[in-house]
Amino acid sequence: MAPPPDPARVRVTSLDDEAAGGAHHSVEDRLFREVVRCREAGLSAALATVIEVKGSAPAREPMKLLVRADGTTLGSVGGGCLEEEVKRQAQRVIEEERPRRVAMALTEEDAPGGALICGGHVEVYLEPITAPPLVLFGGGHVGRAVAGLAARVGFRILVTDDRPEYASTDRFPMAAEALVDYPDAAARRLPIDGASYVLVMTRSHADDTKILEELWRRRVAPRYLGMIGSGTKARLTFEKLAAAGVEREWLKRVRTPVGLRLGARTADEIAVSIVAEMIAVRRGKPEGRWSVRGEGAAPAEPPDEGDARIEPLL
């Protein structure tokens, strides 16, 4: 066996507030710089903006507060109970990736025990600024096509392959990171959490199986987990994973064969089906939806047996 390749990461340059002279800029300048930094680094956050103030209130239009997923903040929307409620709602915005409005009356009745009982009314708009991370195991032709399309619709791409020429920013200029490592080793250490989108599409069925087993051992639960391949491959993979002790409930997370059933054949067409499915999950439509034709829904032709979604039979 060849010696393992040296892990090598290639990162895009991100704005650093201190290096950019952040101390010499206004809070608003630093806030927008931090928004860009979070986007480039793939960090989850939400931006709150005061959009309406009535009566007496410490907030002013358009005060802003950036809330990161770890609870740290930059800026302010007035402090006190109002700001605490905005921070709480921001976590929901980050988790759901959906904007929302927060309206709050600063009275004893609506905010008992609050420090800012001014009698006014404040409305705040919260928007996610997250670029959801997409981890691609495999830098082949389908992975490259997926990365190009996924980057265009707002995903932050991390690609890994054990072949240096397949995990490079020359091949993946749209990627934020490229990692050269064995598939199972990469699966053990890459940052994957509940906000991650993961695609398993190496050149080897055995490697795909190892990746899924390692992810299960870590008990990761990504928002989207797909594996490319035929129905036959999926069944064989599930059988091997079951024999290794992987739990049935966890295996139900794996979308395989991956992508919406479009009858795709080329790498670009397959990429469309996969990215469309990821968008459906991201926007709260996990099963997708057929288009409407005239007065009724367009009938869906039954998929080929090899294209049907596979459930783990354990």
Q: What is the pLDDT along the chain (314 residues), one digit of tens a residue?
A: 445 555 444 333 333 444 444 455 688 899 999 999 888 777 889 999 999 988 877 888 889 999 998 889 999 998 888 889 999 999 989 888 889 998 888 765 555 455 555 668 899 999 998 888 999 999 999 999 999 999 999 999 999 999 999 999 999 999 999 999 999 999 999 989 888 999 999 999 999 999 999 999 999 999 999 999 888 889 999 999 999 999 989 999 999 989 998 899 999 999 999 999 999 999 887 665 544 444 433 344 434 434 455 444 33
CA dihedral of residues 169, 170, 172, 173 (deg, nearest 10): 80
Note whether 153 and 118 are same-domain residues.
no
Same domain, 147 and 277: yes
* Closest to 274 (Cα-Cα) out of 291, 261, 290, 284: 261
Pair of tokens at residue 269: 């067409």
Same domain for 54 and 143? no
Q: Cα(114)–Cα(118) distance, rounded to whole angstroms?
A: 10
CA distance 35 to 4: 37
Q: Is residue 166 in some structural domain? A: yes
The count of structural domains within the chain is 2
Q: Is 295 inside any structural domain?
A: no
Regarding whether 137 and 281 lie in a shared domain, the answer is: yes
**Co-location of 191 and 121 in the same domain:** no
In a domain, 2, yes or no: no
- Which of residues 128, 158, 182 is at a domain's end? 128
Q: What phi, psi does 183 have (nearest 5°)?
A: -55, -45
> Which of 14, 5, 6 has the alpha carbon at shortest distance from 156?
14
- Residue among 288, 281, 234 nearest 262 (CA): 288
Residues 145 and 282 in one domain: yes
User: Could you give the CA distance from residue 166 to residue 6 in angstroms, rounded to a whole number?
Assistant: 14
Residue where the block lists tokens 């080329």: 266
User: Does residue 107 sit in the same domain as residue 228?
Assistant: no
**Residues 96, 139 within the same domain:** no
β-pairing verdict for 64-68 and 133-137: unpaired
Q: Are residues 108 and 28 in the same domain?
A: yes
Residue 273, in any domain of the structure: yes
User: Which structural domain range is residue 90 located in?
Assistant: 15-128
Residues 19 and 116 in one domain: yes
In a domain, residue 179? The reply is: yes
pTM: 0.72
DSSP β-bridge partners for residue 77? none
Last residue of a domain, one of 93, 128, 163: 128
Bridge-based pairing state of the strands 197-200 and 224-227: parallel
Same-domain status, 86 and 210:
no
Q: Are residues 50 and 151 in the same domain?
A: no
d(CA 112, CA 102): 17
Give kind and range of the element (H or E) at residue 53. strand 45-54
